[in-house]
């Protein structure tokens, strides 16, 4: 079986799709990966992917739907890839990757065959609380695209409920996976390693370390944490806020940090490949996103023993229980209140840390891989059926 994985940004596969790759390689499928390798958002090692047997294909797909010429060219290239390599299954991710993959997979190809089409949504762009115009636009778009989809995979309960109202291709199925699955061998508490990193960063003993990680974009909402840090500083607390990630909001965040005199309290540390060490060095994870389909960083932090202070959204509702404080994404006062509380109540911290470790066990990569393996296995068994006809024995 040959599968084409499509994402908009090329680092997405290594960051979020390792469970997919493990399941596919165990089954011996041939993997092709089409993405825009010119603008990686996450760390992307193309040579490593090629060494592992994945054929990488560069297409000019763009995140913005307004980039019509680039995305039309990407669509044509996807169609060529499907024909050239006789692809059996398309598995597309991210909004534009999902749209172009499904449009391409809905066309007829040589021999009258069509590839099976899987779409994993890592968070529909319509959700409870979204602006009404955006909600209707994105929901109607997903309804149309669902008709070009054989398997629709969701990562949270709200999206799963919505997806089950859509009409997929005949015989189509909707699934829910427990996120993309975290690596339990990599993410776990390690006090010695955490202490070593704190020393490397020059963090003094007795300093409470808050951490957040994610792309520096408006949706990730790191600005509310800068506002909370300003308020927390007024209480004369010994704390440090470490912000990991890169993105378009970096300059605006740094300007706010400088303007508020927070240079010794708040640090932008860029994208780090050793993020597990930062989880171990921190005392609490902050997750203020406006919108999250799931939020794997929060689960990795939980597995590393960190309590959460998070915005209340469909993603965090999958795992924020007694291990977390939640509030509105724009409520800097509540973030400050909870940050102060977690610093002052060690017994609360201990209880939340233990609860988070237990909760994280529900979201391991093994659990996600098992569901994906079942999905791929079903497609493999049904490979003899093309457009309603049985393949000759």
Sketch out the chain's domains with CATH numbers.
Answer: 2-181+365-385 (3.40.50.2000), 191-362 (3.40.50.2000)
Please report which residue ranges of 236-363 form alpha helices under DSSP H: 250-259, 275-281, 296-303, 332-344, 346-360
SS3 sequence of 157-181:
HHHHHHHCCCCCCCCCEEEECCCCC
Question: What is residue 391's predicted lDDT score, i.e. its pLDDT?
Answer: 34
Q: Residue-wise pLDDT tens for the chain (393 aa)?
A: 999 999 998 889 999 999 999 999 999 999 999 999 987 677 788 999 999 999 999 999 998 889 999 999 999 999 999 999 999 999 999 999 999 999 999 886 655 678 999 999 999 999 988 889 889 999 999 999 999 999 999 999 999 999 999 999 999 999 999 999 999 999 999 999 999 999 999 999 999 999 999 999 999 999 999 999 999 999 999 999 999 999 999 999 999 999 999 999 999 999 998 999 999 999 999 999 999 999 999 999 999 999 999 999 999 999 999 999 999 999 999 999 999 999 999 999 999 999 999 999 999 999 999 999 999 999 998 874 543 433 332
Q: What is the pTM of this model?
A: 0.91
* pLDDT given at position 39: 75
What tokens does 292 get? 């999250």
Asked if 314 and 326 touch (Cβ cutoff 8 Å), the reply is: no
Q: How many CA atoms lie within 13 Å of 265's alpha carbon, on the beta-carbon side?
A: 22
Helix axes 332-344, 223-233, angle to 10 degrees: 50
H-helix or E-strand spanning residue 287: strand 284-287
Task: Report pLDDT for 38.
Answer: 87
Which tokens sit at 139? 């929901």
Residue 249 is classified by DSSP as T
Query: Diameter of the chain by CA atoms?
Result: 76
Q: Give me the residue label for tokens 């999905």.
A: 375
Helix (H) or strand (E) holding 75: helix 68-85
What pLDDT, on a 0 to 100 scale, did the predictor assign at position 387?
Answer: 39
Nearest alpha carbon to residue 254 among 234, 231, 270: 270
Under DSSP, is residue 212 helix (H, G, I), strand (E, B) or coil?
strand
**Residue with token string 């499907």:** 82
d(CA 299, CA 364): 9
């Amino acid at each position: 079986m040959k599968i084409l994985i499509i994402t908009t940004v090329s680092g997405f596969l290594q960051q979020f799709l390792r469970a997919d790759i493990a399941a596919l390689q165990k089954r011996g499928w041939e993997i092709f990966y089409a993405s825009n390798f010119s603008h990686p958002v996450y760390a992307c090692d193309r040579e490593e992917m090629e060494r592992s047997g994945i054929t990488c294909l560069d297409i000019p797909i763009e995140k913005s739907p307004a980039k019509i010429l680039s995305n039309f060219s990407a669509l044509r290239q996807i169609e060529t890839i499907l024909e050239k390599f006789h692809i059996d299954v398309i598995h597309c991710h991210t909004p534009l990757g999902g749209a172009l993959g499904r449009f391409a997979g809905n066309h007829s190809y040589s021999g009258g065959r069509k590839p099976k089409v899987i779409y994993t949504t890592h968070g529909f762009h319509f959700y409870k609380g979204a602006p009404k115009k955006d909600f209707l636009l994105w929901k109607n778009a997903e309804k149309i695209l669902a008709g070009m989809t054989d398997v629709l995979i969701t990562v949270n309960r709200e999206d799963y409920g919505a997806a089950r109202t859509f009409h997929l291709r005949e015989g189509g199925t909707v699934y829910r996976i427990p996120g993309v699955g975290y690596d339990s061998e990599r993410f776990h508490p390690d006090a010695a390693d955490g202490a070593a990193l704190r020393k490397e960063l020059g963090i003094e003993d007795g300093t409470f370390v808050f951490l957040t990680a994610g792309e520096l974009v408006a949706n990730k909402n790191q600005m509310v944490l800068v506002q909370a840090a300003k308020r927390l500083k007024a209480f004369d607390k010994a704390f440090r806020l470490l912000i990991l990630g890169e993105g378009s909001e970096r300059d605006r965040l740094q300007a706010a940090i400088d303007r508020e005199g927070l240079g010794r309290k708040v640090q932008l540390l860029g994208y780090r490949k050793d993020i597990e060490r930062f989880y171990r060095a921190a005392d609490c994870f902050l997750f203020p996103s406006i919108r999250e389909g799931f939020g794997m960083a929060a689960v990795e932090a939980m597995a590393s023993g960190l309590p959460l202070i998070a915005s209340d959204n469909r993603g965090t509702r999958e795992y924020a229980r007694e291990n977390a404080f939640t509030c509105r994404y724009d409520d800097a006062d509540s973030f400050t209140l909870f940050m102060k509380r977690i610093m002052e109540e060690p017994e609360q911290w201990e209880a939340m840390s233990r609860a988070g470790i237990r909760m994280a066990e529900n979201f391991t990569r093994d659990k996600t891989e098992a569901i994906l393996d079942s999905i791929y296995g079903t497609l493999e068994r049904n490979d003899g059926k093309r457009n309603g006809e049985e393949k000759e024995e």
